[in-house]
Amino acid sequence: MVVPPEEDGQLTTSAVRVLVATAVPAERDAVAQAFPDPYGETRTLPGGLTLHHPTGAPGRYDLLAVGVGPALAAASTATALTAASLTGDPYDLVVSAGIAGGFAPDAPVASLILADHITAADLGAETADGFLPVTDLGFGTVTHTPPPDLVRRAATATGARTGTVLTVSTVTGTARRADDLRAAHPGALAEAMEGFGVAEAAGAHGVPVLELRAVSNAVGPRDRSAWRIKDALESLTAGFGKLAPVLESWRRHDF
Ligand SMILES: O=C(O)c1cccc(C(=O)CC[C@H]2O[C@@H](n3cnc4c(=O)[nH]cnc43)[C@H](O)[C@@H]2O)c1
């Protein structure tokens, strides 16, 4: 639970303004449950998006279900960032949050992962000699790096493990693909489907990004019945409650 300022003596001047991007409403609601008043206000954005603004805690949080996959996540996040800029009240930080597949044994079910790198794992070209990232083709980027000091502080507060969170457009469904991803990205702890898209939008607006994931399943052979979504969502709520005070003490000049 996020503690109101009068209970912990924190200063509330220049409250940090945070956009939290989840894929689906169930993840957004899990984040909202970390706040005293989870559904304070809502606001409609172009494109049929609804921002949820929980209240009763320091900091100014907008929660947005951005859709599944990196492309829709980028489009939805960019819409919210642009709307905020146009009203003269831009965000200080974007957090990609939700459930994820964890690479065993380092990221067990219900554990929390904070990305020290947010990497697009399948953005590139397949060749006879293997996969080439899009950067090797002379285009764009495949990795965004959240502010390292903020990641360290947030990991300490939440107990999250830190490592690369991969963004994939296709959920891994075999042990072979899991091994290939781990071989290509030895620092990877988890895979999900939105982080890179959210980070691309944030990067385009010059806004720093974090990715917080709660593990719902192991990356590997597909077994949807084994996904422990409830445990992961509870873990996400608890993790966000501990993350929020770190973000509230965050100042842009710190990083
Ligand atoms: O069915 C439900 O109740 C439910 C509640 C919350 C979330 C979901 C999802 O299906 C979320 C999809 C979302 O989860 C990420 N994810 C989770 N595991 C993996 C994985 O092994 N590989 C890639 N992505 C994963 C992903 O970001 C999806 O967008 C359902």
Domain assignment of residue 150, yes or no: yes
Structural tokens at position 223: 């077994």
pLDDT in tens, the chain (255 residues): 655 544 443 434 578 999 999 999 999 999 999 999 998 899 999 999 999 999 887 779 999 999 999 999 999 999 999 999 999 999 999 999 999 999 999 999 999 999 999 999 999 999 999 999 999 999 999 999 999 999 999 999 999 999 999 999 999 999 999 999 999 999 999 999 999 999 999 999 999 999 999 999 999 999 999 999 999 999 999 999 999 999 988 865 454
pLDDT of residue 145: 98
User: CATH no. for residue 99?
Assistant: 3.40.50.1580
Residue 127, pLDDT score? 97
Name the residue of 165, 193, 229, 233 to mutate for ligand 1: max ligand atoms within 8 A of Cβ: 193
Residue 21 lies in a domain: yes
pTM of the model: 0.94
Cβ neighbour number for residue 124 with a 10 Å cutoff: 16
pLDDT at position 252 is 52
Q: Among 72, 99, 233, which residue has the most ligand 1 atoms within 8 Å of its CB, making it the best to mutate?
A: 99
Fill in the DSSP letter of residue 4.
P
| 45 pocket-lining for ligand 1 (C-beta < 6 Å) | no
196: three-class secondary structure by DSSP: helix
| pLDDT (tens digit per residue) in 179-205 | 999 999 999 999 999 999 999 999 999
Q: From the CB of 22, is ligand 1 less than 6 Å away? A: no
pLDDT of residue 8: 41
| Cβ(18)–Cβ(31) below 8 Å | no
52 part of a folded domain: yes
SS3 call for 68 = coil
3-state SS, residue 1: coil
Nearest Cα residue to atom 10 of ligand 1: 24
Which is the closest atom of ligand 1 to the Cα of 101?
21
Q: Is residue 255 part of a domain?
A: no
Our count of domains for the chain comes to 1
| pLDDT at residue number 35 | 94
Which domain does 76 fall in, by range?
5-250
Return the pLDDT at 58.
75
Tens of pLDDT, residue by residue over 36-79, are: 999 889 999 999 999 999 988 777 999 999 999 999 999 999 99
Query: Is residue 47 one of the residues assigned to a domain?
Result: yes
ipTM score for this prediction: 0.96
Residue 100 CA to ligand 1 centre (angstroms): 6
33 CB-contact burial (10 Å; exposed 0-12 / middle 13-18 / buried 19+):
middle
Classify residue 92: in a domain, yes or no: yes
